[in-house]
Structure formats: structure tokens, C-alpha cells
Amino acid sequence: MEALKFGLMLIGLAIAAGLGYAAWPSQLLLGVSVFSAVLGVLFLIQEGRRGRSRN
């Protein structure tokens, strides 16, 4: 459950950074957006695998 919350928080950060990048393009915001999106998806995949192994 903790990984799910953390993954969703990272996806939210990626969306916020993406919106910031749309308003003010910079490589830092682009990097934060991509990095947090990838990390968030990995956390969600990990939580999905953990939940599937319980069943």
C-alpha cells in the first residue's frame, strides 16, 4: 500500500512538473517530469505485482 501512495505521488509530481515545463520550458523541469514519471510507474508496477502474488 505504501508503494501505491508513493507511486501516485510521483505521478502527480510528474504531472505538475510537466505543466510547469509547458509554462516555462527548462531542462530541469523536463528531467524532473520524466524521472518522476518513470519512477512512479515502476512503483505502481511493483505494487501490482505484490498484490497479485497475495491472491
Cα gap 6→14, rounded to integer Å: 12
Q: Which residue has the cell 527548462?
A: 26
Which pLDDT band, with edges at 50, 70 and 90, does 49 fall under? confident
Q: Which of 7, 17, 14 is nearest to 41 (CA)?
A: 7
pLDDT band at 54 (very low <50, low <70, confident <90, very high): low
52: number of Cβ within 10 Å: 8
Band of pLDDT at residue 15, cut at 50, 70 and 90: very high
What is d(CA 28, CA 8) in angstroms, rounded to the nearest whole number?
21
The DSSP 8-state label assigned to residue 24 in this structure reads: S
